[in-house]
């Protein structure tokens, strides 16, 4: 069976780092098994869904290189949900309920006060036909609940958490449709997963109880509509937490835009999020194929996955240091060629810093304040300069022989005169880029 996974965001806001991690893991699971990765836009909430967020979701997945093999939108599949609802209604698996939000809250408080779990008491099932008609005659439109089967425990083998078992009597019959006719998450998601042939549902551990409910929905839908189909496999990964070990509100604001503003490479995010929460080390792996090959649900742990976004800068620098010129050429300052990129790359934590280092080549360079002895040394350097295939080593070897200087005394005044700094790229790579005339001019200005 071809592995088919899906990423199903609601377009009610921008993707954050937790969403990105979920999308990545589903993409990796599909690619690892030669399968397909689908994007499903869960936009049944018409009041909160925005087209601008749909566009942003697509753009962010493209930036990350997580291109879906196909896209579906729930708003274009409403007839599918109506058919499924009708079939479940016919099978006696959905029923109308009329309690208000205030009445339900009061019931929960009473249950908690008695030390009971705050689950729905199925009061609506006890209503007679006359009572239902009276509610509707009074203008009370029903919401609809899915009736759970209390006869058997709900079991599945979770791809991360191992064997799972839920007692259905300890779960509320979930509301699947509001009084205004709009859909909640549960039923449309189950209908879509079956209709799209999803084989693996990989999501956060906050959905574990939802999965218990949806397994019964899958069973009921298959019995009513798709007798030959199978329920998807499920895996629930630990949620991201901040470095302090608590759920962090800041994680909810860290999205692709925030990472782009920090000049973080998409490959850096991929390398970090692919391994975060697993037993595998987080490494600066820029090779996407290697990330795919090493992805393994068996390495996922149960402990919360700690996200430290300051680690991104360290990881980003290591990723940048591996990047080839052709991968970054369109993001570099005008005039920087492959030799220039090779020269400045080891000094970069972010590609956006390349412009600052390139100014060491293009100038102007402010002459440093030097002692008279060093100015005389630089004057001699200007007079000694003879251009060659390796002008830096030719110059420093000649000056070492003539002046007896070595180490820092030999190299530092030259670096300061030629770059205005006491650190930076390899001088042997910089000098050919600066050029003979400009190198001599900088030495002479510093000596003056």
Distance CA 21, CA 306 (A): 12
DSSP letter at 139? T
User: Hey, what are 377's tokens?
Assistant: 């040394």
Instruction: Please report, for residues 382, 431, 437, 446, the alpha-carbon distance to residue 440 in angstroms, rounded to integers and kept in the order given.
Output: 5, 10, 5, 10
Greatest distance between any 2 Cα atoms in the chain: 110
The answer to whether residues 171 and 213 touch, using CB atoms and an 8 Å cutoff, is yes
Q: Which residues contact 117 (CB under 8 A, 6 or more apart)?
A: 111, 170
**Is 30 within 8 Å of 5 (Cβ atoms)?**
yes
Length of the chain (residues): 448
Q: Is 400 annotated as a binding residue?
A: no
- Classify residue 109 as exposed, middle or buried by CB count within 10 Å of its CB (0-12, 13-18, 19+): exposed
- Three-state DSSP at 227 gives coil
- Rounded to whole angstroms, the Cα distance separating 67 from 30 reads 12
Helix/strand/coil for 7: strand
SS3 at position 219: helix
Whether residue 418 contacts residue 412, with contact meaning beta carbons closer than 8 Å, is answered with no
Give me the residue label for tokens 């003879």.
Answer: 386
Q: CA 244, CA 247: separation in Å to the nearest integer?
A: 9
Distance CA 279, CA 296 (A): 10
Distance from C-alpha of 231 to C-alpha of 223, rounded to nearest angstrom: 11
Per the annotation, where are the binding residues for ATP? 249
Per the annotation, where are the binding residues? 249
């Amino acid at each position: 069976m071809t592995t088919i996974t899906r990423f199903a965001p609601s377009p009610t806001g921008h993707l954050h780092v937790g969403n990105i991690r979920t999308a990545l893991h589903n993409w990796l699971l599909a690619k690892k098994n030669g399968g397909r990765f689908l994007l499903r836009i869960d936009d049944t909430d018409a009041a909160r869904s925005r087209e601008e967020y749909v566009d942003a979701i697509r753009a962010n997945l493209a930036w990350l290189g997580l291109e879906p093999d196909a896209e579906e939108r729930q708003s274009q599949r409403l007839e599918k949900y109506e058919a499924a609802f009708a079939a479940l209604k016919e099978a006696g698996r959905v029923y109308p309920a009329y309690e208000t939000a205030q009445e339900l809250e009061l019931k929960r408080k009473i249950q908690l006060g008695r030390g009971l779990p705050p689950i729905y008491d199925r009061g609506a099932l006890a209503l007679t036909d006359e009572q239902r008609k009276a509610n509707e005659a009074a203008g009370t439109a029903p919401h609809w609940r899915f009736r759970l089967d209390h006869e058997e425990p709900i079991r599945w083998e979770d791809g991360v958490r191992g064997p799972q078992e839920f007692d259905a009597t300890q779960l509320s019959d979930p509301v699947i449709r509001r009084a205004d006719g709009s859909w909640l998450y549960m039923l449309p998601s189950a209908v879509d997963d079956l209709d799209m042939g999803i084989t693996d549902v990989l999501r956060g551990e906050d959905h574990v109880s939802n999965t218990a409910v949806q397994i019964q929905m899958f069973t009921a839908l298959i019995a009513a509509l798709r007798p030959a189909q199978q329920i998807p496999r499920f895996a629930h990964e630990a949620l991201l937490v901040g470095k302090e070990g608590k759920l962090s509100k800041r994680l909810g604001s860290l999205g692709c835009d925030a990472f782009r503003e920090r000049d973080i490479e998409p490959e850096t995010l991929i390398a970090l999020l692919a391994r975060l929460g697993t037993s595998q080390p987080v490494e600066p792996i820029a090779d996407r194929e290697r990330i795919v090959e090493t992805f393994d649900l068996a390495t996922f742990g149960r402990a919360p996955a700690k996200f430290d976004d300051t680690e991104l800068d360290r990881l980003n620098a290591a990723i940048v240091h591996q990047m080839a010129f052709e991968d970054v050429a369109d993001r570099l300052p005008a005039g920087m060629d492959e030799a220039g990129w090779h020269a400045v790359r080891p000094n970069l934590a972010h590609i956006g810093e390349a412009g600052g280092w390139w100014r060491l080549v293009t100038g102007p360079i402010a002459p440093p304040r030097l002692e008279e002895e060093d100015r005389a040394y630089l004057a001699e350097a200007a007079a000694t300069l003879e251009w060659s295939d390796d002008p830096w080593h030719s110059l420093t070897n000649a000056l070492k022989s003539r002046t007896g200087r070595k180490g820092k005394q030999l190299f530092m005044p030259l670096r300061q005169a030629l770059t205005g700094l006491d650190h930076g790229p390899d001088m042997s790579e910089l000098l050919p880029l600066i050029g003979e005339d400009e190198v001599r001019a900088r030495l002479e200005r510093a000596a003056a």
